[in-house]
Amino acid sequence: MKQPYRAVMQAAVLVGLAVSPAFAQAPGPSAAPTAPANHRIAYIDVQRVLARSSAGVAAREQLEREKAGMQREMEGKRQELEKLRDELEKKGSLMTADARREKQEVFERKRRDAARLMDDFQKELEKKEQALLQRVLQELSGVIDRVGKDRGFYLIVEKRGASVLYASPDADLTDEVIRAYDQQAPKKSP
């Protein structure tokens, strides 16, 4: 019993969870655990909350709309580049050397601009995704605290970040947290 208890405490310390002083004192090799046997530990799969909660779904849909707009703009740039390239290939031999060189420079400049724009779009999407997810996670923190207190859990860990090697489905609070989170969220009219 002492080894699993110690492993749980090490996992709690690794994920930065605060535990009460009585429980946080890991027992020595010959000491008995100081935590009462009725303390319960649970886990939450944050990725599942983000994928299934109404706020997580709304954030993902917003990102998809923005991504679609960016893709439309990039498709326009791609078509413009194709048109310039085709013009260079078909009419390049008929152009003067200066006109061909100028057209080639325009093509290269537009290609670089499109590549920079694509990079900027990618960074912008990542930044927006981080901001949206951060907002959802901050809201989720209060819900997790409330559910944990209401259900009498002593410790709640994030399933993936805590390196949970085994977890009983009975300890999974994810669906309950999703329901509580969705109930707390203000209802938006369509």
Q: How far, in Å, are 82, 96, 142, 186 from residue 15 at the CA level?
A: 51, 67, 17, 30
By CB neighbour count within 10 A (0-12 exposed, 13-18 middle, 19+ buried), where does 49 fall? Answer: buried
pLDDT at 20 over 50: no
| pLDDT (0 to 100) of residue 82 | 93
Q: Which of 57-61, 135-139, 164-168 has the lowest mean pLDDT?
A: 164-168
Q: Which residue has the tokens 């078509």?
A: 79
Q: Which residue has the tokens 């779904």?
A: 57
pLDDT at 22 over 50: no
User: Mean pLDDT, the chain, as a whole number?
Assistant: 77
Confidence band for 94, pLDDT divided at 50, 70 and 90: confident
Q: How far, in Å, are 66, 67, 120, 139 from residue 126 at the CA level?
A: 11, 10, 10, 20
Cα(67)–Cα(159) distance, integer angstroms: 29
| pLDDT (0 to 100) of residue 172 | 86
| pLDDT (0 to 100) of residue 164 | 63
Confidence band for 89, pLDDT divided at 50, 70 and 90: confident
| pLDDT (0 to 100) of residue 169 | 79
What pLDDT digit, counting tens, does each position of 30-68 carry?
Answer: 444 444 455 688 888 888 888 899 988 988 898 999 999
| pLDDT (0 to 100) of residue 23 | 36
Tell me if the domain spanning 2-10+18-52+137-184 has CATH number 3.30.910: yes
pLDDT at 142 over 80: yes
Confidence band for 16, pLDDT divided at 50, 70 and 90: very low
pLDDT at 185 over 80: no
| Section 94-114 average pLDDT | 90
The alpha-helical segments, DSSP class H, found in the chain are: 2-14, 21-24, 46-52, 54-91, 97-151, 174-184
Nearest CA to 160 out of 36, 51, 60, 26 is that of 51
The larger pLDDT score, comparing residue 22 to residue 140, is at 140
The dihedral sign for the CA sequence 91, 96, 97, 103: negative
